């Protein structure tokens, strides 16, 4: 499972969140559509901590995603970031997507 990693104070919201293809979105507005991601204050620092602790991190020019095996790893990921003093939270990163 891939989890998007996003900066808390991004200058502009992306048209679609990292890891979500345009054709993955519903054709009409759906208020219950969501994509969970990790929102952090310091993306690069989080990537360094995750990579140093054997998390697979996928980076490209526009996005960062964390590859996790399941919900237990998500909990471990959040705990790890918090233990390193990094601000993080799970959040719906699809809030800013216009659908329709």
pLDDT at 17 > cutoff 80:
no
Does residue 64 belong to any structural domain of this protein? Answer: yes
CATH code assigned at 57: 3.30.70
If you ran DSSP here, which 8-state letter would residue 12 be given? S
Does residue 27 belong to any structural domain of this protein? Answer: no
Does residue 52 belong to any structural domain of this protein? Answer: yes
Six token digits for residue 14: 């992306």
Residue ranges making up the domain that contains 61: 1-9+35-100
- The tally of domains found in the chain comes to 1
For 40-87, write each residue's pLDDT tens digit. Answer: 989 999 999 999 999 999 998 888 999 998 888 999 999 999 999 999
**Beta-sheet strand order (sheet of 36-40):** 56-59, 64-67, 2-7, 36-40, 88-92
Higher-pLDDT residue of 10 and 11 is 10
Six token digits for residue 39: 């929102």
Q: Let me know: does 45 contact 14? Beta carbons within 8 Å.
A: no
| Cα angle value 77/78/82 (rounded, 5°) | 120
Does residue 20 belong to any structural domain of this protein? Answer: no
Does residue 19 belong to any structural domain of this protein? Answer: no
Does residue 49 belong to any structural domain of this protein? Answer: yes
pLDDT of residue 2: 84
pLDDT band per the 50, 70, 90 thresholds, residue 21: low
Mean predicted confidence (pLDDT) in 7-19: 56
Does residue 17 belong to any structural domain of this protein? Answer: no
Does residue 25 belong to any structural domain of this protein? Answer: no
């Amino acid at each position: 499972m891939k989890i998007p990693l996003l900066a808390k104070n991004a200058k502009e919201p992306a048209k679609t969140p990292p890891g979500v293809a345009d054709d993955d979105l519903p054709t009409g507005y759906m208020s219950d559509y969501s994509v969970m991601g990790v929102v952090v204050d310091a993306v690069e620092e989080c990537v360094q901590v995750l990579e140093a602790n054997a998390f697979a991190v996928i980076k490209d020019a526009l996005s960062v995603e964390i590859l996790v095996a399941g919900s237990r790893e998500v909990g471990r990921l959040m705990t790890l970031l918090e233990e390193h003093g990094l601000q993080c939270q799970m959040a719906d990163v699809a809030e800013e997507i216009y659908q329709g």
